[in-house]
Amino acid sequence: MLAIVAPGQGAQVPGMLHAWLELPGVADQLNALSAASGLDLVAHGTTSDADTIRDTAVAQPLIVAAGLISWNALNAPAADVVAGHSVGEITAAVVSGVLTPAQAMGFVQLRGAGMAQAAANVATGMSAVLGGEASVVVTKAVEHGLTPANMNGAGQIVVAGTLEQLDAFANDAPEGGRVRPLPVAGAFHTSHMAPAVAALETYAASMSTADPVAVLLSNADGNSINGGAEALRRLVAQVSNPVRWDLCMDMMVSMGVTGLVELSPGGTLVGLAKRAMPGVAAVAVKNPEDLDAARALIAEHVGKD
List, in order, residues 6 or more apart from 136 with CB less than 8 Å away: 174, 175, 176, 177
How far apart (Å, rounded) are the C-alpha atoms in residues 180 and 184? 12
Phi, psi of 147 (to 5 degrees): -110, 130
DSSP letters, 232-243, are HHHHHHGGGS-B
Find out whether 15 and 66 touch, Cβ atoms under 8 Å.
no
List, in order, residues 6 or more apart from 32 with CB less than 8 Å away: 101, 102
How far apart (Å, rounded) are the C-alpha atoms in residues 152 and 102? 29
| 44 among known catalytic residues | no
| 192 among known catalytic residues | no
Among candidate residues 44, 85, 189, 192, the one labeled active-site is 189
Looking at the whole model, is its pTM more than 0.85? Answer: yes
Among candidate residues 37, 86, 218, 240, the one labeled active-site is 86
pLDDT score of 235: 98
pLDDT in tens, 49-95: 999 999 999 999 999 999 999 999 999 888 999 999 999 999 999 99
Please give the domain boundaries of the chain with CATH numbers for all domains. Answer: 2-119+190-301 (3.40.366.10), 121-181 (3.30.70.250)
pLDDT-derived band of residue 303, with 50, 70 and 90 as boundaries? Answer: confident
